[in-house]
Structure 1
């Protein structure tokens, strides 16, 4: 199949997303799961251990400063669905303002992050990675807060892993997902506008919503 940034956005708008079998496979296929993973934005579960790590303020949080680095971090594993063509198209979506990254930095070293695509008030989470203990969880905590503050209404995680479920993600039916998607596409949200909270502010907000 021939993919393009425009076709990629259209796929998201109708509830499907692309994957490759592995890094070296040139073939790309569309996925439309019967059970869809979402992250209810008001139910992020911040564990005591994650709150303790956040209080240490060991890392710097940023958005969109090294989108390609986040994508490459997500692909840097034994098995990945991110082939060269998919990588190139997500970089194009980033250039056009339709894709964003939440990044965790230790000095000048990128140690964790998550990236995804935005349409309307929907954020389609694609992948995340961690090079230090809990840095993907930290990225996710800051991402959920940013989506909440930016008036997003849908955080699509595609599938639910045990890791995501422990943080509050859940499965819904395909039909329920499409209803949420249609509503989200009619609304506007802002990914870059919200300020990044301090660790204490982030912990307090999650205490208030949990």
Structure 2
């Protein structure tokens, strides 16, 4: 059942920004996802609450992995929840254009990570350098992707590889709705598409009936192992259990 934290969606304005508040903390952010809403600062004082009129989604079993991406993936290894502070710091780097991750976001999502609601994926090169990653919120059958990054010099396609690892893990815990907020050109190359707000909320309501299963697969996967697991997910065979 959708949270009523923000009232009835029928009463929301017909724009992406549905409201704002001076108050912001981890539990409030978590409940917002159950209402189909996510936080993003408007300025240093006001927290904006957003529910896009057109919501970006990626199919768990339909991530587009091109031949060139498969080649790049073999250069990296991936882990889960090994370096969340570093992933968040990279995603929130002040050098990034249109950066929005401020101290309020870092504090709240770091708390949600410690309590098991937020997860990170890390991508490492052959020298053990962190070159890409992402993080997001897992609630029931929903994973809400918040941000991703790659190292411009060493991490070509590393954020895309992080997404491959993510969908493998989401398949393992029964997540069916991968929310990426807005469709971008970058995400579109990976198979992302848009649905209207009402359709997103309908899918979310079903996703919230599913259990929030614990993540247990944190260790490294080589690129070849990751691609094998992804291919199993894409073929509808679930997740391979590697010895």
TM-score by length of 2: 0.79
Q: Is the aligned partner of 1:70 residue 2:97? A: no
What is the DSSP-based 3-state SS (H/G/I as helix, E as strand, rest coil) of the residue aligned with 1:152?
Answer: coil
The TM-score with structure 1 as length reference comes to 0.91
The aligned residue for residue 158 of structure 2 is 135
Mapped to 2, the partners of 1:184 and 1:51 lie a distance apart of 30
Partner residue of 1:174? 197
Tell me, in whole angstroms, the C-alpha distance in 2 between the residues paired with 1:191 and 1:96: 11
Deviates more, 1:190-199 or 1:120-129: 190-199
Task: Name the residue aligned to 2:188.
Answer: 165
Indicate the SS of the match to 1:167: coil
Structure with the greater alpha carbon radius of gyration = 2
1:60 equivalent in alignment to 2:81: no
**Which position in structure 1 is the counterpart of 2:240?**
none
Aligned counterpart in structure 2 of residue 3 of structure 1, from 24, 34, 56: 24
Aligned with residue 93 of structure 1, among 112, 121, 132 = 112
The aligned counterpart of 2:133 is 113
User: 2:34 maps to what in 1?
Assistant: 13
Rate the CA distance shift 1:187–1:94 in 2: closer, same or farther, 3 A. same
- Match of residue 13 from structure 2: none
In 1, the alpha carbon distance for the partners of 2:145 and 2:214 equals 13
From 39, 42, 49, the equivalent of 1:30 is 49
Match of 1:80 in 2: 99
Instruction: In structure 2, list runs of 5 or more residues that go unmatched.
Output: 1-21, 237-243
Partner of 1:47: 66
**Count of residue pairs brought into register by the alignment:** 205
